[in-house]
Amino acid sequence: MQLRCLRHRLLLALSSLVIVDAQEHFDPREATIASVHNALYSGTSCRSIVSAFLSRIEALDHGYVNSIISLDPESLSIASRQDALLASKNAGIGPLYCVPVLLKDNLDTASLPTTSGSLALADSRPSVDAAVVKALKDAGAIILGKTNLQELALEGISVSSLGGQTVNPYDADRTPGGSSGGSGASVAASFAVFALGTDTINSVRNPASANSLFGLRPTRGLVSRAGVVPNSHTQDAVGPITRCVEDLAIALSVIASSQLDPEDNSTALVPQGIRGTDYHMDLASGSLSGKTIGVLETFFDRTSTNETEPVNESIDAMIARLQEAGATVVPIDDPMYNVNAIIASCETQRFELRQEVDTYLSRASLKGQHPATLQDLYREGNSFLVLPQQYEFIKAVLKGSTQDLEYEAVLNNIQDLTTHLHATFAAHHLDAIIYPQQKNLPVRIGSASQHGRNGILAGVTGFPSLALPVGFSQATDSAPIGIPIGIELMGLPWTEAKLLQIAHEIQALTQIRKPPVWTNRHIPVREYAAVPSMMPKDSNSIPSAYPLGLLL
Ligand SMILES: *[C@@H]1O[C@H](CO)[C@@H](O)[C@H](O)[C@H]1NC(C)=O
Ligand SMILES: *[C@@H]1O[C@H](CO)[C@@H](O)[C@H](O)[C@H]1NC(C)=O
Ligand SMILES: CC(=O)N[C@H]1CO[C@H](CO)[C@@H](O)[C@@H]1O
C-alpha cells in the first residue's frame, strides 16, 4: 500500500467509516504526520502507533538495512503518557504529538549515548538534549532511537566502527548515501515518520537523494547546532529527512530556532519576519508558473556510463516538466561552479574540526566514558574507522587549527563565492537553482568514497538547499525498482518557504517517490511490555575494505 501525502486525509477519512477497529488499521508504511494524527483521532492509541514502528525495526533492520544504533527505552512509556493526556484533555497538543522520529547519532540525547558511530564514544553520555531534540520533544514527537552514520560524519558511505554498514533498502549492493545514511535508509523503510540528519557538505541531502526522500539543509543560522557533535561551525547544519514535502515543512517549523540560542551564535543571524514562520501554512499557495530556475551545467557528469546517464536523463525529464508547468529554465554555465575547486579552496573542516570536537568532549555536561580529545579518540589501541583514502585528511585534521594562516584565506574564498552566488541569482532573476545532488548513482558498498556529490556549494555559502526525488535508474538484479536519483533545489538565504512551495508543486506534478520493495511488506504489530533491546551489531557487516584503527 502506498499512501500519498496529498490524498492522505481523504483516504483515512473514508476508511475510518468502514473500519471498526481503528487499531488494526494503522499502517506505518509511508505514514505521514497527518496520517498518524488521523489515526490518533480515530481511536488508535499512541502506544500502538509507536509499537507498529518498533515492530518494523525489529523485523526488518537487523541483518539487512542495519540503520539503527540504539532504541530509546522511554518511547513506549512516553506514548502511554500521551494517550492518557489525550484522553484527559483535547487542547494544546503540539504539532508533532505522538509522531515517531529517529535521530542521527551525532545529536545529543540525555536518554541515550551519543556515539557518532564510533566505538570510542559508545558510552559517551550527554546529560542535556541537543536544541533540535528539545524542540522535537516540546512539540510532542516521540524519539524512537538513534541512527547509524559515517563515523564522525567524515564521509558518505555510512559505515562506522560501532554501527557497521548501513545498506540502501532499494539496492542491497549499494550504500544509502551519507553521512546521515542511517536516517535516510530508516525513513525510506518506514521505521519512523521522519528523521533528523546533519549536513556539513552533503550529509542530509545525499541520503535523501539516495533513498527517494526529501531533505533540507536550512540557511546557516535558522536551526541551532547546539548539542551536535561538531565538524565545522562554518558549515554544519541540522535538517529533516522526510517522505513528503508537507512533513518537511512541519519538521522545519518545529526545529527552526524561535529565539537566539546563546549556545549557537549563528542563530542571531535570522532576520525579522523569518523567526517563527509556519512553513506548512502557505505550502500549497505557490506555483511553478512564472518561476525562473537556473540549471548549473557544470554540476553534471556527461560521460556516458550507466552510473551517470540515468541521473542526466531524469533531470532532463524534470526540466521538461518544469517548462510545461510554466517555469522559465535558464542554463548557468559558469566555471566558478566547479565542485573540486570549491572543495580545495573553501572547505573549513581541516582547520575547525579538531578544536571544536575537543570543546565538545570537554563540556562538563558530557558524562560517561569518552576520550578527552580527538587525538585521544584516534590513539593506538582504540577501535575506530577511517576509510583508506581519508588517512591523510585525518592526519591534517589532527594538526589543523583556526590559527593556521591558510584559514583566513579559505574564509575569504568563501566570502567571494558567496558574493558570486548572490550575483548569479540577481543577474538572472532566479527563484532557485537546480542540479543533481550526485552526478552518479550512490556508490556500491566497499567503495572508497561517495564520489560525485555536489553539496559543497550550499555547505560553504550557507544558502538553503532542498533535496527531492527526481527519478529512478533502470531495475537491476539487486535493485528491483531501480536506484533513486535526487536533485537539489537551492535558494537565496531565508527563502525556505519558497523552496518548500516549489518542491510541493514538483511533488504534486511528478509523484516520484516509491517505497523500497523489500521493506514494504506488512509486519504484524507486536504488543511490547518494554522497548526491545537492540541486537548486538554484526562486525562482519563492515566491509573488509575498511580496516579498523590503522591511523597512527
Ligand atoms: C560564535 O561562536 C564561535 C564558536 O564558538 C566563535 O568562534 C565566534 O567567535 C562567535 N562569534 C561571535 C560573533 O560571537
Ligand atoms: C551497469 O552495467 C554493469 C555491467 O554491465 C552492471 O553490472 C550494473 O548492474 C549496471 N548498473 C546499473 C545501475 O544498471
Ligand atoms: C540536463 C542535462 O545536462 N542534460 C544532458 C544529458 O546529456 C545529453 C547528452 O549528452 C544532453 O543532450 C543533455 O543536455
Q: How far apart are CA 212 and CA 235, in angstroms?
A: 24
- What is this structure's pTM? 0.94
What is the CA(224)–ligand 1 centre distance, in A?
13
Q: Check 75, 160, 161, 203 and give the catalytic one.
A: 203
Per-residue model confidence (pLDDT) at position 213? 99
DSSP class of residue 548 equals B
The reply to whether 104 belongs to the active site is yes
Task: Please say if the pLDDT value at position 17 is more than 50.
Answer: no
Per-residue model confidence (pLDDT) at position 22? 42
Decide whether any atom of ligand 1 lies within 6 Å of the 383 Cβ: no
**542 domain-assigned:** no
Instruction: Provide the CATH number for the domain around residue 394.
Output: 3.90.1300.10
Cα torsion 162, 135, 155, 229: sign: negative
For 151-188, how does the pLDDT look when each residue is reduced to its tens digit (9 = 90+)? Answer: 999 999 999 999 999 999 999 999 999 999 999 999 99
Q: Check 70, 104, 161, 537 and give the catalytic one.
A: 104
> Which residue is associated with the grid cell 573549513?
348
Helix (H) / strand (E) element for 134: namely helix 131-138
- Chain centre distance of CA 125: 23
Per-residue model confidence (pLDDT) at position 89? 74
> In sequence order, which residues have a C-beta less than 8 Å from that of residue 314 and are 6 or more positions away?
470, 471, 472, 485
Single-letter amino acid code for the residue at 43: G
DSSP class of residue 533 equals P
For 404-445, how does the pLDDT look when each residue is reduced to its tens digit (9 = 90+)? Answer: 999 999 999 999 999 999 999 999 999 999 999 999 999 999
Instruction: Give the atom of ligand 3 at the shortest distance from the alpha carbon of 313.
Output: 6
Instruction: Identify the domain containing residue 332 by its residue range.
Output: 2-260+283-362+372-515
Q: Which residues line ligand 3 (CB under 6 A)?
A: 300, 302, 312, 315-316
| Mean pLDDT, range 10-27, rounded to an integer | 46
DSSP class of residue 61 equals I
Per-residue model confidence (pLDDT) at position 552? 56
Share of the chain above pLDDT 90, in %: 90
Farthest CA pair distance, the chain: 70
Closest CA to 354 of 346, 366, 362: 362
Contact present, 334 and 424 (Cβ < 8 Å): yes
Pocket probe mutation, ligand 1, options 231, 233, 355, max atoms within 8 Å of Cβ: 233
The reply to whether 190 belongs to the active site is no
Task: Please say if the pLDDT value at position 234 is more than 80.
Answer: yes
Atom 9 of ligand 2, nearest CA residue: 476
Single-letter amino acid code for the residue at 512: I
**276 domain-assigned:** no
Share of the chain above pLDDT 70, in %: 94
Pocket probe mutation, ligand 3, options 302, 315, 318, 440, max atoms within 8 Å of Cβ: 302
**367 domain-assigned:** no
Decide whether any atom of ligand 1 lies within 6 Å of the 233 Cβ: yes
User: Cα 541–545–549 angle (5° rounding)?
Assistant: 85
What is the CA(535)–ligand 1 centre distance, in A?
41
What is the CA(425)–ligand 2 centre distance, in A?
38
**538 domain-assigned:** no
**547 domain-assigned:** no
What is the CA(306)–ligand 2 centre distance, in A?
6
What is the CA(169)–ligand 2 centre distance, in A?
18
DSSP codes, 236-292: -EEEEEESSHHHHHHHHHHHS-SS-BTTBGGGGGPPTTTTT--TTTTGGG--STT-E
> Which residue is associated with the grid cell 508537507?
246
For 247-267, how does the pLDDT look when each residue is reduced to its tens digit (9 = 90+)? Answer: 999 999 999 999 999 999 999
**531 domain-assigned:** no
Task: Please say if the pLDDT value at position 9 is more than 60.
Answer: no
Based on the structure, what is the number of domains in the chain?
1
**470 domain-assigned:** yes
E-strand ranges in 315-390 read 328-332, 366-368
Atom 4 of ligand 2, nearest CA residue: 306
Per-residue model confidence (pLDDT) at position 23? 47
Task: Please say if the pLDDT value at position 16 is more than 60.
Answer: no
Q: How far apart are CA 223 and CA 217, in angstroms?
A: 10
Q: How far apart are CA 170 and CA 519, in angstroms?
A: 9
Atom 5 of ligand 2, nearest CA residue: 306
The reply to whether 203 belongs to the active site is yes
> Which residue is associated with the grid cell 488494526?
24
What is the CA(307)–ligand 2 centre distance, in A?
8
DSSP codes, 436-457: ESBSSPPPBTT-S--TTB-THH
For 348-366, how does the pLDDT look when each residue is reduced to its tens digit (9 = 90+)? Answer: 999 999 999 999 999 999 9
**522 domain-assigned:** no
Q: How far apart are CA 512 and CA 213, in angstroms?
A: 10
DSSP class of residue 99 equals -
